[in-house]
Amino acid sequence: MSVLEIQHLTKRFAGLVAVNDLSFAVKERSIHSLIGPNGSGKTTTINMIDGVFLPTEGKVIFNGVDITGKPTYEISRLGLGRTFQNIKLFNTLTVKENLMVGGQMFYAKSNILRFLFDIPGARREEKALSEAADQVLEFMKMQDVADKTVGGLPYGMLKMVELARTMMTKPRLILLDEPAAGLNPSERKQLIDILFHIFESGVDLFLIEHNMDVVMNISHNITVINFGSKIAEGVPKEIQNNPEVIKAYLGDRYQKQA
């Protein structure tokens, strides 16, 4: 069974083919990586999965539901979370408030009229939402920054906040766009730990990544694309030894290690 299935996905921008007839599947209970050189169409692919771009051709099936062309908010309600390459957070809110925005569609569903007139109900809802946020903060071991405003936090922490906010959306699968970019080695190690932790809690992961330490360490499966087309697919070992991939992307360092 696969949790996410990409079928013949193509995106053309005014003549330029960014992604060309790309197909792959993310298996249930797996960590899947999509790698490829700069400009090979990775972020475009994620944007099409997430509903930011409308694919020119092809289909995206998530959990057995066709989500092609659905708006982003509907896709994330179905349990598909996402983080961004250039972190997108609510800078004037605190960490906990960021998480609460993430969870409000999932833990506090009342509409505005109900909210205005049912005061005790609203209070109960707010409490449930706040508790859910506390749980995620504990899970991510971030309780100490809960009440800090996001704007002033260090870069590595921002990545964690974004991941935590995604965890608030009760995801089945999280798309991570370059989670390790800009992190130093010790932060990278922390990230790998937390990603495993999230995976063990029952969430599948799909990541785009440049950092080979991270990719080779955590992925179960890897798909490699270049110029918008798939050139290889397999477990990390196979990818490391695939001459096509080495030529296009990895260089010979990883071949020697293998």
Partner 1 sequence: MSKTIKRYGYVLAVAAALLLPQVVSNTYYVTMFCLTLIYIIIAFGLNFITGMTGQMNLGTAGIFCLGAYTSALLTTKTSISPWIALIVVIGVGFLIGVGLGYPSFRLEGVYLSLTTIAFAEAVRQLANNMTDFTGGAQGVRNIPPFTVFGYEITSKIQNYYFILAFVILFGFISYRIMHSKWGRAFIAIRDNIDAVSTCGINTAHIKIIAFTLASVFGCVAGGLYAHYSSYINASTFTLNLSVTFVVMILIGGMGNLWGCILGAVIVSMLPEFLRFLGEYYQLTYSILILLCILFMPGGILSVVKKLKRKR
Task: Quickly tell me which residue has 């659905």 as its tokens.
Answer: 70
Element (H, E) at 147: none
Considering only residues 137 through 166, tell me which ones interact with partner 1, judged by CB under 8 A.
165-166
The verdict on 76 binding partner 1 (CB under 8 A) reads: yes
Please enumerate in sequence order all residues whose Cβ is within 8 A of that of 11, keeping only pairs 6 or more positions apart, or say none. Answer: 17, 18, 19, 41, 44, 48, 53, 55, 56, 228
User: Which of 74-82, 138-146, 199-207, 219-227 is the region at the interface with partner 1 (rule: CB under 8 A)?
Assistant: 74-82
Written as six digits, the tokens of 243 are 């001459």
How far is residue 91 from each of residues 45, 95, 101, 154, measured CA to CA in Å? 27, 9, 12, 12
Which residue in the set 39, 69, 71, 154 belongs to the binding site for partner 1 (CB under 8 A)? 71
Which residue in the set 38, 92, 186, 201 belongs to the binding site for partner 1 (CB under 8 A)? 92
Other residues' Cβ atoms within 10 Å of the Cβ of residue 31: 23
Which residue in the set 15, 16, 64, 73 belongs to the binding site for partner 1 (CB under 8 A)? 73
List the one residue out of 62, 82, 49 whose CA is nearest residue 167: 82
The verdict on 169 binding partner 1 (CB under 8 A) reads: yes
Nearer to partner 1, 80 or 222 (CB): 80
Which residue in the set 17, 61, 101, 153 belongs to the binding site for partner 1 (CB under 8 A)? 101
Rounded to the nearest whole angstrom, what is the least distance from the CB of residue 144 to partner 1 in the complex? 19
Please enumerate in sequence order all residues whose Cβ is within 8 A of that of 190, keeping only pairs 6 or more positions apart, or say none. Answer: 156
The verdict on 84 binding partner 1 (CB under 8 A) reads: yes
Considering only residues 118 through 137, tell me which ones interact with partner 1, judged by CB under 8 A.
119, 122, 125-126, 129
Rounded to the nearest whole angstrom, what is the least distance from the CB of residue 52 to partner 1 in the complex? 8
Nearer to partner 1, 157 or 248 (CB): 157
The verdict on 223 binding partner 1 (CB under 8 A) reads: no
Task: Quickly tell me which residue has 């508790």 as its tokens.
Answer: 131
DSSP letter string, 173-194: EEEEESTTTT--HHHHHHHHHH
Query: What type of residue is 30?
Result: S
List the one residue out of 203, 251, 244 whose CA is nearest residue 226: 244
The verdict on 63 binding partner 1 (CB under 8 A) reads: no
Rounded to the nearest whole angstrom, what is the least distance from the CB of residue 42 to partner 1 in the complex? 17
Rounded to the nearest whole angstrom, what is the least distance from the CB of residue 91 to partner 1 in the complex? 5
Contact set with partner 1 (CB under 8 A): 50, 52, 71-74, 76-77, 81-82, 84, 88-93, 97-98, 100-106, 108, 112, 115-116, 119, 122, 125-126, 129, 165-166, 168-169
